[in-house]
Structure 1
Amino acid sequence: MLKLFRSPSTLVTLLAGLAGVLLVLYAWRLPPFLTSVETTENAYVRGYVTTISPQVSGYIVEVPVKDYAEVKQGDVLVRIDDRSYTQKVAQARATLQAQQASLANSHQQELSAQANIHAAEAEVESAESVLNQAELTSRRVANLTDRGVASTSESEKAAAAQLQAKAGLNRAKAAVEVARQSLATIIVSRAALEANVTGAEAAVQLADIDLQNTVIVAPRDGRLGEIGARLGQYVTPGTQLLAVVPRDVWVVANFKETQLYGMQIGQPVTIVVDALNKRTIKGHIQNFSPATGSEFSVIKPDNASGNFTKIAQRVGVRISIDKDQAPIEHLGPGLSVVVSIDKSSAPQTGEDLLSLY
């Protein structure tokens, strides 16, 4: 038996078998390799990549920026030919002035209608005076006729004059009503004129907005991606011109569901960045995805059909990067990292976390 173990080939075989067993135990994190540290290479740097597109159509007349340049919020990125939009603003303002003039004319018509009402009311008073005089004359002539002093024809003329005065009074009263209805018509139609003025003001504002949109500016501080805009290019709303990438970055690590137990928000994280020659930076767990990655995919798997093979799903873990670390400025969205989390570590409190970000 001892001679068997002294054989070199036997020793090599035993050592190879022992190494295989140890490798399996290490891969499955079984004793003596049981550890509270969970690691994944399925982790990437994420950030806000804002794609810039125009809101108006036109030819590009200026592109004052270059690829990968640093920009500040409000810096001009692209200019679109604004000649037609300038004229649209002038046209909209001219229409507004015309509508305002119509509204002012309506107010003037109201004053004129009120004056007509006063004049018609004065005519009523005059007609009442004439009628009163005609009635007195008619009664006087009738008395004279009864005594034989005046002729019948004079009595008839006085009665006719009375009727004519009565008709004049009715005509004057009707003129007052016509003047009042004319005033009501002017007031009612003014609502449409006021609506026209409001619509014209909105048209001016829209034209101003379109004019302002011919100058495309950076929405926030950051760096530019590759510039897709070209001088003289005709663009339409939605055309992708360039992208702005702010400095704010974080890490999303996709851990297997079997690794999640024991992880807590606030636990420290070690991040190894491939692009920085395996340099290590620190971070903290910020949040967990509400569902596995497969639930957010366009085509979801249907495990109810065919044969089933259980596959450990992955859940995204968002990791905030601690501030005041020199390598942070070199991080960009899309970079690969290796994330390690010690589940035995105590999570930071809310106040501690605020001091880190």
Structure 2
Amino acid sequence: MSQQEQNQIAERERTNRLRILSVAFGAGIAVVGVLIILYAWQLPPFTSQIQSTENAYVRGQITFISPQVNGYITAVNVLDYQPVHQGDVLMTIDDRIYKQRVHQAQAQVAMKKAALDNNIQQRRSAQAVIERNQAALENAKAQAVKSGLDLKRVENLTSDGSLSVRERDASRASNSQTVAEVQQAKATLDVSRQDLQTVIVNRASLEADVASAQASLELAQIDLDNTRIIAPRDGQLGQISVRQGAYVTAGTRLTSLVPQQMWVVANMKETQMARIRAGLSVSFTVDALDGESFQGEVEYISPAAGSEFSAISPDNATGNFVKIAQRIPVRIKITSDNAAHLRPGMSVEVNIDTSAEAENREAK
């Protein structure tokens, strides 16, 4: 074999080796790329028991303080961001009109009670009239009995000629009058009983008037009490939006109150929810506190995705469809003792440890 042929064979072998190395290198790059993607998406074999998200924030029970009555602010007793306790007077509204309304309502109550007391006196008087008319009826009955006996005697004397017919007729007229007087006394007694019933029925109306006047007094007193804006609970105030002398109406936002109770809401992707359950331990860091770490636990899981609570719900039954991973809000209870520096609205990074749930599934 000539030298030229040997060189050609060596060149072909070198080319084949280079091709093999190139194919192997390309395959290695492809494998590394696939592994990077699997790791980035936490897919097997790189599945992690820690479910993380940056879409999480500290939440709190922010209460907006507003008045229930209208008027001018006469005093502002607090400053922006000042801590307060339940019952502290934050501001006061001019109460002169409301005091006069209370006095007016008190006068109405007194007047209605006087009318009710007068009704009691009317009832006693009506009962006395009934007793008087009852006695008058008994007297009329007695007179009627006496007149009947007299008439009987006159009839006997007239029949034997001892008395004249004229005297008999006079006796009959007198007897008829006494009988009529009995009927009149009965009617008078019935009228007096009806008068008593009217007084009794009218008492219910007067009692209702007293109750209505007392309710008006209570409402006036509530309005007067509402001229003092008090803190509904312990917490820290936000910015004061009014000053002394400003006119406010019912519902005007005066300030806000932030209690110490706080929690974290983490909006997890639906693909992360398979092993998240209430009671799992959580760790999170806060951007505003140089990444300081806090501990917590899963307290509640939202009953629906966040999109279901939006004002305009998405309609996926129309047009082209692009699948987008939905977010499920998860409420996290803060268990750390160092949560005094947390503020509602702070951004946090949440890590939920699902290893306990995975162990429970394997045990089952």
TM-score (norm 1): 0.89
Residue 302 (structure 2) pairs with residue 289 (structure 1): yes
| Alpha-carbon distance between aligned partners in 1 of 2:108 and 2:125, rounded to the nearest angstrom | 26
Higher mean C-alpha displacement, 75-84 vs 23-32: 23-32
Residue 254 (structure 2) pairs with residue 245 (structure 1): no
- Give SS of 2:325's match: coil
| Alpha-carbon distance between aligned partners in 2 of 1:38 and 1:282, rounded to the nearest angstrom | 15
| Alpha carbons of structure 1 residues 175 and 14: separation in structure 2 relative to 1, 3 Å | same
Residue 123 (structure 2) pairs with residue 110 (structure 1): yes
Query: Which residue does 2:348 correspond to in 1?
Result: 337
Query: Which residue does 1:155 correspond to in 2?
Result: 168
Kindly provide the amino acid, as one letter, of the partner of residue 351 in structure 2: S
| Alpha-carbon distance between aligned partners in 2 of 1:267 and 1:165, rounded to the nearest angstrom | 102
| Alpha-carbon distance between aligned partners in 2 of 1:141 and 1:236, rounded to the nearest angstrom | 93
- Give SS of 1:284's match: strand
Are the aligned partners of 2:280 and 2:354 in contact in 1 as well (CA < 8 Å)?
A: yes
| Alpha-carbon distance between aligned partners in 2 of 1:143 and 1:260, rounded to the nearest angstrom | 120
2:317 to 298, 301, 304: 304
| Alpha-carbon distance between aligned partners in 2 of 1:70 and 1:15, rounded to the nearest angstrom | 63
Query: Which residue does 1:280 correspond to in 2?
Result: 293
- Give SS of 1:338's match: strand
| Alpha-carbon distance between aligned partners in 2 of 1:18 and 1:114, rounded to the nearest angstrom | 111
| Alpha-carbon distance between aligned partners in 2 of 1:45 and 1:301, rounded to the nearest angstrom | 27
- Give SS of 2:283's match: strand
CA deviation after TM superposition for structure 1 residue 189, in Å: 1.7
| Alpha-carbon distance between aligned partners in 2 of 1:17 and 1:275, rounded to the nearest angstrom | 40
| Alpha carbons of structure 1 residues 31 and 158: separation in structure 2 relative to 1, 3 Å | closer
Residue 212 (structure 2) pairs with residue 205 (structure 1): no
| Alpha carbons of structure 1 residues 135 and 21: separation in structure 2 relative to 1, 3 Å | closer
Deviations 1:232-255 (A, max 9, x none): 122121111110000110000011
Deviations 1:156-199 (A, max 9, x none): 22111111111111111111111111111111122111111111
Query: Which residue does 1:350 correspond to in 2?
Result: none
Kindly provide the amino acid, as one letter, of the partner of residue 274 in structure 2: Y
- Give SS of 2:244's match: coil
Residue 69 (structure 2) pairs with residue 76 (structure 1): no
Task: Give runs of aligned pairs for residues 208-247 of structure 1, distance below 5 A.
Answer: 208-247=221-260
Query: Which residue does 2:177 correspond to in 1?
Result: 164
2:63 to 28, 35, 50: 50
Are the aligned partners of 2:57 and 2:348 in contact in 1 as well (CA < 8 Å)?
A: yes
Deviations 1:85-131 (A, max 9, x none): 11111111111111111111111111111111110111111112222
- Give SS of 1:282's match: strand
Kindly provide the amino acid, as one letter, of the partner of residue 332 in structure 1: R
Q: CA RMSD in A?
A: 2.3
Query: Which residue does 1:132 correspond to in 2?
Result: 145
CA deviation after TM superposition for structure 1 residue 142, in Å: 2.7
CA deviation after TM superposition for structure 1 residue 24, in Å: 2.7
- Give SS of 2:153's match: helix
2:204 to 191, 203, 227: 191
CA deviation after TM superposition for structure 1 residue 345, in Å: 3.6
Residue 116 (structure 2) pairs with residue 88 (structure 1): no
Are the aligned partners of 2:294 and 2:336 in contact in 1 as well (CA < 8 Å)?
A: no
Kindly provide the amino acid, as one letter, of the partner of residue 122 in structure 1: A
| Alpha carbons of structure 1 residues 158 and 15: separation in structure 2 relative to 1, 3 Å | same
Are the aligned partners of 2:75 and 2:91 in contact in 1 as well (CA < 8 Å)?
A: yes
| Alpha-carbon distance between aligned partners in 1 of 2:48 and 2:62, rounded to the nearest angstrom | 37
- Give SS of 1:220's match: coil
TM-score (norm 2): 0.87
Query: Which residue does 2:37 correspond to in 1?
Result: 24
For structure 2, the residue ranges without an aligned partner over 5 or more in a row are: 1-13, 20-25, 359-364
Deviations 1:294-343 (A, max 9, x none): 0011111111111101111010011111142x2x1111110000001121
Q: How much identity, in percent, do the aligned residues show?
A: 50
| Alpha carbons of structure 1 residues 339 and 197: separation in structure 2 relative to 1, 3 Å | same
Deviations 1:3-62 (A, max 9, x none): 979xxxxxxx99998875554333222456432211100000001000111111111111
Higher mean C-alpha displacement, 24-33 vs 185-194: 24-33
Higher mean C-alpha displacement, 162-171 vs 65-74: 162-171
| Alpha-carbon distance between aligned partners in 2 of 1:237 and 1:16, rounded to the nearest angstrom | 70
